[in-house]
Structure 1
Amino acid sequence: MSENKIHCSVEQDDQRLLALHRYQILDTPEEPAFDDIVEIASLICEAPVAVINFIDRNRQWFKSEKGLGVRETPLDVSICAHAILQPGLFVVPDTTLDPRFSNNPLVTGHPYLRFYAGALLVSSDGYPLGTLCVLDYTPRTLSEPQRFALQALANQVMAHMELMQAHREQAILIRDLKAMQSELSKYASTDPLTGLLNRRAFQQRLNQELALIKRGTHSAVLMLIDLDFFKEINDTFGHQIGDQVLMNFSKVCSDTFRQADVISRWGGEEFLIMLPMTTVDEARVVADRLHKILDATSILDVNGSSIYLSISVGVSALTDYSTVEDSLQRVDSLLYRAKNNGRNCTVTEC
């Protein structure tokens, strides 16, 4: 990071803190990647104390430290708080001779720090966040190779933090993509008006059920329902009311059938339901219950007028020799017989 890109004026401290918080590094646990950098800095600079620190609003917090034994200190005793106010490597050969630090409690008292060298940790947008620093108990300086190594290690701290941030952003992106895929999958498999399965999704589920039946796992039943005289509702009240009737009938189905049953809007005013682990006689009982519910309760009230529905129903068994096409043809034929019988009835296989 070039020196002329570093923002460090007091007026910009709020922006600097925002940059720091974007990295989500404060108050995180110790991590080997940072601890290793501190150990290397200590070895190369031959310093008993080494720290990766970040300057928060009212404190100095250590991501990793060697030789101090604490994870944070107040800002009023922080040498690094001064280091971030200027570009480049900040070196204090003898803290007792520097008026900024000669009265610092860490200098006048335990641990009696005498030497400080800090390399800036600078955000990608130019804000100083803290330092990688080394300290000693005796006055001294750093060789040129040590100065270079300390800054290079500071750059590695920031590179690792940028990578961590990129991983977080990638995780968020993956989460959002999965949510979008789930939503798109839902739209692709459901009827937009009723929220029930559409024809394509139901056929896929029917294929799966037939495969299970062929293995002898259980029996199942198809039930095809047609709303009687639905065209008259549309012609009398309009298509918006017709749509509301379809939605309300879908709700009645969801309340009547079991959670394991697969309900679809097959098309127009037809609804196709698959009832796993069910016999034709058991399905007939369910159909009769649905007839009674519709007889007793209006499906919609419009301007004081109650709309009642009746339904025609065909019920057929799924067998181990059934195909999707054969199963659909048989249940459709039974529904056709129910309509020919005067509607408002259920026809099942003998």
Structure 2
Amino acid sequence: MSAYPIPDNEAERQAALDDQHILDAESDEDFNRITRLASQMLGVPTALISLVDRQRQWFLSRVGLEASETPRDLAFCAHAICSDEVMVVNDASQDERFKDNPLVTGNPNIRFYAGVPLQTPSGFNLGTLCVISPQPRQLAGNEQQLLQDLAGMVIQHMESRRNSYLCPLTGLKNRRPFFDAGLQECVRAQQKGEPLTLMMFGLDDFHGFCRQLGQHQGDRLLQQLARQLQSDFGESAFFGRVTDDEFAVLQTGLVGQEAVAKAEGFRSGLALQGWVVEGIRHPLPVSLGTACLNSDDTSFKDLFQRAEAALKQARLSGASLPG
């Protein structure tokens, strides 16, 4: 039996958290501003935006606490997400659930805790906005409403961030989140000694295509290309729309000529297929640049720059080039 309660909708809740693409991301000033306000306005030393992951709680923003995460079985917030109400613990040393918790018996010596579930518009509690004090106390006056209002601001900013994370037309990662995912994947591949290939596809004269056939056809083309990339390269790859007319695919297990051949097969298939509108086939020129991770790469930035340079050169020369 788990040391903490499990929400009835745990699988769906976790999927909703994963869909935010925010775990282990760097915080930003909007989140930090909220935790500072919570700490200052309630007069407590610690305020946290806590996201309850599979086996841990991870702090998206924190004031007054050094740790970036704790095990889920120690997390007060693991209890708070099981209800839609504000959870208040006036004195944890007197609460049967928490009196033997190492966070109560030792540093940071939690006594008072108040946590508001961070609930998505779909009804999933991802974590909490919580405040903590080493002194017993209660919520007084309008403090509970204040916490709820601040929690609403957290969710609003998270949803806004999520919406900007994905291309609304194709559903693929935008350039920055694709790059962030690449940074993590590059570190993992280097640690495990696995091959890693970045393929970049560019729709040549895409703006001319849209002028000739209309923006609606341009949007359809982008959506179709995104679907074909995901179908051909599979679930193990990372996909991004990194500029208006450029798509990137990052995949492990491909190296050297094998990588170039697979990417070129996809590119030539698109070009051969063309784009048919009302029975008329229109040419669809596509350029390709590829780069494979090598021992000289210090980070994903090196790999990305080589693939991007190869794509640029391919567009100038009309050929597909490795980086």
TM-score (norm 1): 0.48
Alignment partners' CA distance in 2, 1:12 and 1:156: 24
Matched residue count: 185
Question: Residues 175 and 65 from structure 1, CA distance in 2 versus in 1: closer, same or farther, beyond 3 angstroms?
Answer: closer
Hey, what does 2:37 align to over in structure 1? 40
Aligned-partner SS, 2:9: helix
- CA displacement 1:240-275 (0-9 Å, x = unmatched): xxxxxxxxxxxxxxxxxxx9999xxxxxxxxxxxxx
Give 1 or 2 for the bigger CA radius of gyration: 1
Letter in 1 for 2:96: P
Hey, what does 1:185 align to over in structure 2? 209
Question: Residues 96 and 179 from structure 1, CA distance in 2 versus in 1: closer, same or farther, beyond 3 angstroms?
Answer: farther
**How does 1:82-101 map onto structure 2 within 5 Å?**
82-101=79-98
Of residues 145, 150, 159 in structure 2, which corresponds to 1:162? 159
Alignment partners' CA distance in 2, 1:169 and 1:68: 32
Hey, what does 1:62 align to over in structure 2? 59
Of residues 116, 119, 122 in structure 2, which corresponds to 1:119? 116
Hey, what does 1:319 align to over in structure 2? none
1:100, CA displacement in angstroms? 0.3
Alignment partners' CA distance in 1, 2:171 and 2:53: 31
- CA displacement 1:125-163 (0-9 Å, x = unmatched): 101100000000110011131111111000000000111
Kindly indicate whether the alpha-carbon contact (under 8 Å) linking 2:48 and 2:59 is maintained by their aligned counterparts in 1: yes
Alignment partners' CA distance in 1, 2:85 and 2:22: 23
**How does 1:74-89 map onto structure 2 within 5 Å?**
74-89=71-86
**How does 1:201-350 map onto structure 2 within 5 Å?**
none
Unaligned runs of 5+ in 1: 1-7, 190-258, 263-350
Alignment partners' CA distance in 2, 1:37 and 1:127: 21
Alignment partners' CA distance in 1, 2:56 and 2:105: 20
Unaligned runs of 5+ in 2: 174-201, 214-314, 319-323
Question: Residues 61 and 173 from structure 1, CA distance in 2 versus in 1: closer, same or farther, beyond 3 angstroms?
Answer: same
Hey, what does 2:189 align to over in structure 1? none
**Identity value in percent:** 37
TM-score (norm 2): 0.52
Question: Residues 36 and 186 from structure 1, CA distance in 2 versus in 1: closer, same or farther, beyond 3 angstroms?
Answer: closer
Aligned-partner SS, 1:57: coil
Hey, what does 1:25 align to over in structure 2? 22
Hey, what does 1:103 align to over in structure 2? 100
Alignment partners' CA distance in 2, 1:83 and 1:261: 59
Alignment partners' CA distance in 2, 1:121 and 1:152: 11
Alignment partners' CA distance in 2, 1:46 and 1:163: 29
Question: Residues 173 and 184 from structure 1, CA distance in 2 versus in 1: closer, same or farther, beyond 3 angstroms?
Answer: farther
Q: Could you list the structure 1 runs, at least 4 aligned residues long, displaced by more than 4 angstroms after superposition.
A: 170-176, 178-181, 186-189, 259-262
Alignment partners' CA distance in 1, 2:153 and 2:84: 17
Alignment partners' CA distance in 2, 1:172 and 1:148: 38
Aligned-partner SS, 2:142: helix
Alignment partners' CA distance in 2, 1:47 and 1:55: 22
